[in-house]
Amino acid sequence: MELRRIVRPGGRLYLTVHDERSIELCLSANENPPVAALLRAYDAESHFTSRGYDFFTINRTPGQGGPGQAQVFYRRDYLRRHWGLYLKAISFTPERYGNQTAVLLER
């Protein structure tokens, strides 16, 4: 809601997020071994790959995504559904920023 508030009507937001493609890349290519290990451990505990999820966080330490810092993962359909209440989802582009997906939103 804060992002919607600060963007003028017709304005656009460009964000990057971790999504199901990011998870796939981390686990299959072992692109980011520390995050892959955390994802595997979280899956062993929660079974998110078989039970499904809307979003989850691993490593709850705040920061800018470095080692030991929080990583949040979303399902794209959840983002469309939830963020779509406030902004129009224009596009989702996987692997736009490393293993993150770019999201273009419009007010």
pLDDT tens, 20-40? 999 999 898 766 788 888 899
Does the predicted TM-score (pTM) go above 0.75? yes
Task: Give 66-97 pLDDT, tens digit per residue.
Answer: 566 788 999 999 999 999 999 999 999 999 99
Neighbour count for residue 79 (Cβ, 10 Å):
20
Q: How far apart are CA 45 and CA 101, in angstroms?
A: 25
The angle at the Cα of 67, spanning 61 to 71, to the nearest 5 degrees, equals: 55
